Amino acid sequence: MIAVAVVLIGLVLVSLRLLPGSPFESTAAAKWGEPATSTERGASAPGDRSSRPSPSPSPSPEPEPLPFVAKDLDLDIAGWYSWSVLDRRTGEIIGSDNMDETSTTASLIKAWIVADYLRRADEKGQTPSDAKLADATLIIRDSDNTRAQQFYNAIGGSASIKRLISRCELTDSSVASDGGWSRTKLSPRDTARMGACIADGRAAGPKWTKWLIGEMRLVRGAGDFGIRKAFPAAERKTIAIKNGWIDRTREQEMHINCLAIGDTWTMGVMVRYPIGKGYEYGMKNCQKITEALLRDPV
């Protein structure tokens, strides 16, 4: 009987060790049959990403190409001509081999004169009157010389051109020897740089840049020629321009210059040729040069 009692007691104890919740429950028995944790399966502990595959980064989309292709031009144009294009997204500049050579700007420089006037007024906490803004409109849209001279005098004359060279980081250009705005010397490369300076707000400042670009898109009459005329009609209204044209009797030359600002680019084209060929010859050649550089549509 004693032996039977011992066997029964032993069976009871074994049962208690296997019974969940029993104080005699075996630790091993409690884990037996439970799913292994991720750590026990050899995987990383929660929060440890060292063994997880990293997602592949998405490739950056290729930027849209500029509408121009760099190429050597051999056009039937009398006299001297030069061109340059600046990519506003990267700052990269392409152009003719002589894109650093200068010519007198004539009215093209008026875009800077108005920009400098507006920015300086804002820096002084001043807002130009409606009458002054109307004058600025006539300077840009209609290339009014009298009002341009008034603005030029108000901003210090040739000191304004020195600010242009410094502020827009020009490398080829210079103030006219007589101090006048019309004989300011710019290169096509610096013309494109000035366009970028207007487009990014350095020239007219944050308050007036949009206004100025809007006015330059509305250039009309005799001044509406050149670069943007090479584009389809639907695109022209999005391109801001300021052109210059003058007959230089001293040199017996015509100086025709074109500045254009697109969404992703700026462009400068300059031509210089015998005075007897007239204005229209140079105006058409600004357009002809641009057309020769345009990328073929896909």
Distances (CA, A) of 49 to 43, 45, 46, 53: 10, 8, 8, 8
Residue 42 has a pLDDT of 42
pLDDT digits (tens, 9 = 90+) for 15-48: 545 454 554 444 433 333 333 343 434 444 445 5
Q: What is the pLDDT of residues 103-140, one digit of tens each?
A: 999 999 999 999 999 999 999 999 999 999 999 999 99
How far apart are alpha carbons 187 and 225 in whole angstroms?
19
Residue 296 pLDDT class (50, 70, 90 cuts): confident
- The type of residue at 195 is G
Q: Is the pLDDT of residue 156 over 60?
A: yes
Phi, psi for residue 74 in degrees, rounded to 5: -130, 75
Q: What is the pLDDT of residue 16?
A: 46
| Per-chain mean pLDDT for the chain | 86
pLDDT in tens, 212-237: 999 999 999 999 999 999 999 999 99
Instruction: Give the predicted TM-score (pTM) of the model.
Output: 0.79
Q: Is 111:140 a contact under the CB 8 Å cutoff?
A: yes
**Confidence at residue 64, expressed as pLDDT on a 0 to 100 scale:** 87
Closest to 263 in 3D by CA, of 295, 222, 228: 228
3-state secondary structure the chain: CHHHHHHHHHHHHHHHHHCCCCCCCCHHHHHCCCCCCCCCCCCCCCCCCCCCCCCCCCCCCCCCCCCECCCCCCCCCCCEEEEEEEECCCCCEEECCCCCCCEECHHHHHHHHHHHHHHHHHHCCCCCCHHHHHHHHHHHHHCCHHHHHHHHHHCCCHHHHHHHHHHCCCCCCECCCCCCCCCCEECHHHHHHHHHHHHCCCCCHHHHHHHHHHHHCCCCHHHCCCHHHHCCHHHHCCCEEEEEEEEECCCCEEEEEEEEECCCEEEEEEEEEEHHHHHHHHHHHHHHHHHHHECCCC
pLDDT surpasses 50 at 12 = no
Between 214 and 55, residue with greater pLDDT: 214
Q: Per residue in 192-217, pLDDT tens?
A: 999 999 999 999 999 999 999 999 99
How much is the pLDDT for 141?
A: 98
Residue at 128: amino acid letter: P
Share of the chain above pLDDT 90, in %: 77
pLDDT at 56: 61
Distance CA 175, CA 254 (A): 20
